[in-house]
């Protein structure tokens, strides 16, 4: 008995070591002739798995188009599931950087993942791109040296959108309802800042918990004497909000504006007439009429069996961005400083979302599209009704003065007209 | 019995000390994580395994200490000693308050109350934005500087650092569970009514166990904050509490080695299997079900005869 117990314990220890052993095999040092390794994070399990899939499909689509080869070197894409959890994302990034020896880290969905990775990326000096994670400060008050954002900053579309609303609609007193987290704060913040400078007013802020199942009590609070409503929801919540907004009879009375994710193509096909007429702003629309987008959205639909969303376009263009940088660096991705410099110089004139360049903080300057949900050929789409060209993250503000202001938050800008 | 478990832990710790420098930096960070979660799992086992109280809010104390580290280091440039002290005191204090509310309940009701209290901590982490930076979390926590010749920013020295913490926690907990106090906790687990009839203050015993478990969870949380360099509401959410509970259940409640083993297995399995398949959750689920069906006393418990 005694010996068997000991041997069992020894076996348990061995089993433990067996888990560790495979890690111990050091990867063969890759010479410059080896493949270019790109490590990508995406939420492949959990509530954001569908979006994660869009992100991976977008990336793979571009890599397939170029034959998984850049400048004669093979490209290897390593995809890891971050579960939408910053601690997991950090783990997986460590694995990709330290074990797989990737040359670049990309991907990620949620803002907190972006903030969590930032110190690690900078301490490892590993070039990284953020195609989706939009938290303003990653390229503003606390810019990361090794991160190039190929996507957008949350408030970037909202600044010009607010001005567009004042110039083109009669809405002046606007009530806000949206998700109670940083993405919501920065969406409203950008809108409110510009709206109130142009004589408009945010007359109400309603923050709904992320796990809301029923919007009726919140909709009941919405000020009926406002001119319009601005809403921000993502994924399942966007679907539910739109439905309940119509059912409550508000849609007929108060026109609806929104942050771009409210009618993103990842949820739009599942919406009905309740979405019609909603006006949102983003740097992409599946309905954009340019050759690059027509080619991309057709190819994406063929690959993924669903229409392209901003998430898939973000990762598709991100992959192209990386490929351009690799070419510009002469394929020398091992030279991290050189590769990073190349990533920071990319300029793309003809992407699916239009021309993109990059500012000195590492955020893209790109077109912002004001989009209206319409039914075309039986399907809902985000028809582009206005294009605001070459919008940067600071828009018309002076960058230095802008960054002296606090980051947009739950209480900033304050609600003076509530 | 006593001599043998000490020897076993000594062997495992020695093996880790020897093996760690031989593996690359990534497995070293995983081992660090395993060791930190082992402390957390052992602390929960004081409640679950020894006292028979299943808490669903244990990540709260863990997270509070991690948040203390995050706030103190990034905003007040506090050193390790201050962070350790404040982290443990805050976790203990919170457990002391929550214990007053929770201990009166038993069984499912205890589960529900601890779940709710855990959510209170999560809500604070999420909504008290001026303090915790809300959903974005606190990033950029520097590794401690102890004036030692080793730089704790490197994976290996930090692993040894965490391992030392584990040995300390294990030693203290081993003394605790073998003390007369620990034995009365076991008595309460077996039969609360009988212990009460024997004149023991059952409430006080349970309360103290609850507070001590919180204190050790805080101890683990301090190291977690330093290890990750980042703390967010995810660290205090229900999933983290449940995962800790699973570590204990998988390893073997009512032992100290069991939860430590469970923590190591789950941390390594999670990070190892997910490299090979997207369906890693299925495999993890199968492992849980397998253990519950075939080794209800946990992997460790299955091979351990209860002394009668």
Judge contact between B152 and B141, C-beta under 8 A: no
Which has more pLDDT, B297 or B20? Answer: B20
| Residue A23: inside a domain | no
Determine the 3-state secondary structure of A99 from DSSP.
helix
Tokens found for residue A347: 């300029």
Percent of residues, chain A, with pLDDT higher than 90: 78
| This prediction's pTM | 0.83
Please state, as a whole number, how many other Cβ atoms lie within 10 Å of the Cβ of residue A72. Answer: 7
Sign of CA dihedral B292, B295, B296, B301: negative
Residue B205 CA: distances (Å) to CA of B43, B96, B196, B256: 16, 13, 11, 19
At residue A26, does pLDDT exceed 60?
A: no
Judgement on whether residues A389 and A266 belong to the same structural domain of the protein? yes
User: Which of A32-36, A205-209, B203-207 is least confident?
Assistant: A32-36
User: Which of A314-318, B92-96, B99-103, B275-279 is least confident?
Assistant: B275-279
pLDDT at B304: 63
pLDDT at B281: 79
pLDDT at B284: 83
- Among B12, B129, B281, whose Cβ lies nearest the Cβ of A45? B281
Percent of residues, chain B, with pLDDT higher than 90: 45
Judgement on whether residues A107 and A233 belong to the same structural domain of the protein? no
Residue A141 domain boundaries: 29-153+289-362
Which chain A residue has its CA at the smallest distance from B262's CA? A16
Can you say whether residue A388 is alpha, beta or left, with left for phi > 0 and alpha for psi between -120 and 50 degrees? beta
Those residues with Cβ within 8 angstroms of residue B297's Cβ, 6 or more apart along the chain or in another chain = B252, B253, B254, B304
Q: Where does the pLDDT of residue B308 fall: very low under 50, low under 70, confident under 90, or very high at 90 and above?
A: very low
Chain-wide mean pLDDT for chain B?
88
* B chain contacts of residue A16, beta-carbon cutoff 8 Å: 261, 264-265, 268
In angstroms, rounded to a whole number, what is the distance separating the alpha carbons of residues B83 and A124?
Answer: 26
| Residue A196: inside a domain | yes
| Residue A391: inside a domain | yes
Q: pLDDT tens across A238-281, in order?
A: 999 999 999 999 999 999 999 999 999 999 999 999 999 999 99
pLDDT at B88: 96
A382 burial level (CB within 10 Å; 0-12, 13-18, 19+): buried
In angstroms, rounded to a whole number, what is the distance separating the alpha carbons of residues B50 and A78?
Answer: 44
Domain CATH number, residue A142: 3.40.50.2300
pLDDT at A311: 95
Judgement on whether residues A148 and A175 belong to the same structural domain of the protein? no
Stretch (H or E) spanning A280: strand A279-282
Q: A42 forms bridges with which residues in the sheet?
A: A81
pLDDT at A401: 94
Q: Quick one: which of B255, B223, B188 has its CA closest to B41?
A: B255
| Residue A22: inside a domain | no
Chain-wide mean pLDDT for chain A?
90
Judgement on whether residues A48 and A136 belong to the same structural domain of the protein? yes
Q: Where does the pLDDT of residue B39 fall: very low under 50, low under 70, confident under 90, or very high at 90 and above?
A: very high
Average pLDDT rounded to a whole number, residues B47-58: 90
At residue A413, does pLDDT exceed 70?
A: yes
In angstroms, rounded to a whole number, what is the distance separating the alpha carbons of residues A1 and B211?
Answer: 38
Q: pLDDT tens across B117-136, in order?
A: 999 999 999 888 888 888 88
Judge contact between A283 and A157, C-beta under 8 A: yes
Which chain B residue has its CA at the smallest distance from A22's CA? B272
Q: Where does the pLDDT of residue B253 fall: very low under 50, low under 70, confident under 90, or very high at 90 and above?
A: confident
Closest Cα in chain A, distance from residue B63 (Å)? 13
pLDDT at B62: 95
Q: Is the peptide bond before A413 cis (omega within 30 degrees of 0)?
A: yes
Judgement on whether residues A348 and A238 belong to the same structural domain of the protein? no
| Residue A15: inside a domain | no
In angstroms, rounded to a whole number, what is the distance separating the alpha carbons of residues B30 and B48?
Answer: 25
Q: Regarding beta strands A354-358 and A348-351, do their DSSP bridges make them parallel or antiparallel, or are they unpaired?
A: antiparallel
Average pLDDT rounded to a whole number, residues B28-53: 92
Q: What is the tally of structural domains in chain A?
A: 2
* B chain contacts of residue A5, beta-carbon cutoff 8 Å: 303-305
At which residue do the structure tokens 């001005």 appear? Answer: A163
At which residue do the structure tokens 């209860």 appear? Answer: B306
pLDDT at A104: 96
At residue A1, does pLDDT exceed 80?
A: no
Q: How far is CA A42 from the centre of its chain?
A: 11
Q: What is the DSSP string of A311-356?
A: HHHHHHHHHHHHHHHHHHTTT-TTSHHHHHHHHTT--EEEETTEEE
Judgement on whether residues A271 and A295 belong to the same structural domain of the protein? no
Judgement on whether residues A188 and A327 belong to the same structural domain of the protein? no
- Kindly determine whether residue B24 and residue A26, on different chains, have CB atoms separated by under 8 Å: yes
Maximum mean pLDDT: which of A10-24, A161-175, B252-266: A161-175
Judgement on whether residues A213 and A258 belong to the same structural domain of the protein? yes
Q: A interface toward B at CB cutoff 8 Å?
A: 1, 5, 8-9, 12-13, 16-17, 19-20, 22-24, 26, 44-45, 80-81, 85-87, 90-92, 94-95, 98-99, 111-112, 115-116, 118-120, 123, 135, 180-182, 409-410
Orientation angle between helical segments B257-276 and B280-294, nearest 10 degrees: 150
Average pLDDT rounded to a whole number, residues A111-128: 90
Q: A37 forms bridges with which residues in the sheet?
A: A76
Average pLDDT rounded to a whole number, residues A181-202: 94
The per-residue b/e assignment along A158-189, b for 16 or more CB within 10 angstroms, e otherwise, is bbbbbbbbbeeeebbbbbbbbbbbbbbbbbbb
Which chain B residue has its CA at the smallest distance from A112's CA? B136
Length of chain B: 308
Q: pLDDT tens across A352-388, in order?
A: 999 999 998 999 999 999 999 999 999 999 999 999 9
Q: Where does the pLDDT of residue B305 fall: very low under 50, low under 70, confident under 90, or very high at 90 and above?
A: low
Q: Where does the pLDDT of residue A32 fall: very low under 50, low under 70, confident under 90, or very high at 90 and above?
A: low
Half-sphere exposure of A142 (CA within 13 A, CB side): 15
| Residue A388: inside a domain | yes
Q: What is the distance between the terminal CA atoms of chain A, rounded to a whole angstrom? A: 75
In angstroms, rounded to a whole number, what is the distance separating the alpha carbons of residues A248 and A241?
Answer: 10
Judgement on whether residues A277 and A253 belong to the same structural domain of the protein? yes
| Residue A37: inside a domain | yes
Length of chain A: 418
Judgement on whether residues A260 and A293 belong to the same structural domain of the protein? no
Judgement on whether residues A382 and A256 belong to the same structural domain of the protein? yes
User: Which of A255-259, B13-17, B226-230, B281-285 is least confident?
Assistant: B281-285
Those residues with Cβ within 8 angstroms of residue B147's Cβ, 6 or more apart along the chain or in another chain = none
pLDDT at A101: 92
Judge contact between A356 and A317, C-beta under 8 A: yes
At residue A28, does pLDDT exceed 80?
A: no
Those residues with Cβ within 8 angstroms of residue B195's Cβ, 6 or more apart along the chain or in another chain = B184, B187, B188, B202, B205
Average pLDDT rounded to a whole number, residues A278-305: 95
Q: pLDDT tens across B66-101, in order?
A: 999 999 999 998 889 999 999 999 999 999 999 999
Judgement on whether residues A62 and A107 belong to the same structural domain of the protein? yes
| Residue A410: inside a domain | no
At residue A16, does pLDDT exceed 70?
A: no
Percent of residues, chain A, with pLDDT higher than 70: 92
């Amino acid at each position: 008995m005694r010996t068997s117990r000991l041997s069992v314990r020894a076996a348990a220890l061995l089993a433990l070591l067996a888990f560790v052993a495979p890690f111990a095999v050091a990867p063969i040092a890759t010479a410059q002739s080896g493949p270019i390794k790109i490590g990508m994070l995406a939420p492949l399990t959990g509530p954001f798995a569908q979006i994660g899939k869009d992100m991976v499909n977008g990336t793979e689509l571009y890599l397939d188009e170029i034959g998984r080869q850049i400048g004669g070197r093979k490209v290897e894409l390593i995809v890891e599931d971050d579960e939408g959890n910053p601690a997991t994302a950090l783990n997986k990034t460590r694995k990709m950087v330290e074990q797989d020896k990737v040359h670049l880290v990309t991907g990620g969905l949620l803002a907190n993942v972006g903030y969590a990775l930032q110190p690690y990326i900078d301490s490892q000096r590993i070039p990284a791109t953020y195609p989706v994670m939009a938290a303003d400060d990653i390229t503003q008050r606390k810019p990361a040296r090794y991160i190039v954002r190929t996507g957008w900053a949350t408030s970037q579309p909202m600044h010009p959108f607010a001005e567009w609303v004042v110039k083109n609609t009669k809405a002046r007193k606007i009530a806000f309802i949206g998700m109670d987290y940083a993405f919501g704060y920065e969406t409203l913040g950008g809108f409110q800042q510009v709206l109130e400078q142009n004589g408009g007013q945010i007359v109400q802020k309603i923050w709904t918990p992320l796990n809301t199942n029923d919007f009726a009590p919140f909709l009941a609070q919405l000020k009926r004497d406002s001119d319009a409503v601005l809403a921000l929801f993502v994924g399942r919540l966007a679907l539910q909000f739109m439905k309940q907004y119509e059912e409550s009879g508000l849609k007929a009375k108060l026109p609806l504006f929104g942050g771009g994710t409210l009618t993103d193509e990842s949820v739009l096909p599942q919406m009905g007439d309740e979405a019609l007429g909603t006006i949102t702003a983003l740097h992409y629309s599946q309905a954009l009429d340019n050759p690059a987008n027509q080619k991309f959205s057709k190819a994406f639909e063929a690959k993924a069996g669903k229409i392209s969303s901003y998430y898939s376009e973000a990762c598709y263009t991100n992959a192209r961005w990386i490929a351009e940088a690799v070419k510009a660096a002469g394929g020398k991705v091992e030279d991290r400083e050189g590769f990073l410099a190349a990533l920071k110089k990319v300029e793309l004139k003809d992407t699916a979302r239009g021309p993109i360049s990059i500012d000195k903080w590492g955020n893209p300057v790109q077109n912002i599209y004001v989009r209206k949900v319409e039914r075309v050929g039986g399907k809902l789409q985000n028809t582009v009704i206005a294009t605001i060209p070459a919008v940067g993250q600071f828009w018309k503000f002076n960058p230095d003065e802008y960054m002296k202001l606090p980051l947009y938050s739950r209480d900033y800008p304050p609600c003076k007209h509530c | 019995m006593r001599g043998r478990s000490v020897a076993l832990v000594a062997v495992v710790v020695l093996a880790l000390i020897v093996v760690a420098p031989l593996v690359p930096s990534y497995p070293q960070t995983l081992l660090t994580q395993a060791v930190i979660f082992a402390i957390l799992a052992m602390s929960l086992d004081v409640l679950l395994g020894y006292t028979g109280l299943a808490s669903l809010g244990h990540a709260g104390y863990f997270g509070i200490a991690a948040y203390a580290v995050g706030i103190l280091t990034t905003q007040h440039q506090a050193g390790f000693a201050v962070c350790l002290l404040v982290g443990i005191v805050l976790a203990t204090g919170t457990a002391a308050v929550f214990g007053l509310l929770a201990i009166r309940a038993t069984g499912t009701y205890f589960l529900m109350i601890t779940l709710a209290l855990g959510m209170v901590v999560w809500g604070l982490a999420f909504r008290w934005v001026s303090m915790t930076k809300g959903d974005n979390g606190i990033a950029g926590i520097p590794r401690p500087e102890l004036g030692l010749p080793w730089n704790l920013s490197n994976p290996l020295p930090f692993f040894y650092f965490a391992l030392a913490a584990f040995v300390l926690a294990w030693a203290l907990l081993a003394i605790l569970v073998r003390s007369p106090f620990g034995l009365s906790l076991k008595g309460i687990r077996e039969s609360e009514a009988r212990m009460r009839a024997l004149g023991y203050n059952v409430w006080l015993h349970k309360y103290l166990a609850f507070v001590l478990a919180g204190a050790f969870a805080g101890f683990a949380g301090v190291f977690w904050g330093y290890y990750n360099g980042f703390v967010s509401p995810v660290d205090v959410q229900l999933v983290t509490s449940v995962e800790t509970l699973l570590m204990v259940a998988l390893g073997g409640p009512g032992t100290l080695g069991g939860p430590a083993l469970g923590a190591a297995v789950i941390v390594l399995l999670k990070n190892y299997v997910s490299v090979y398949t997207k369906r890693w959750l299925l495999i993890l689920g199968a492992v849980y079900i397998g253990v519950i069906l075939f080794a209800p006393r946990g992997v460790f418990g299955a091979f351990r005869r209860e002394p009668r």
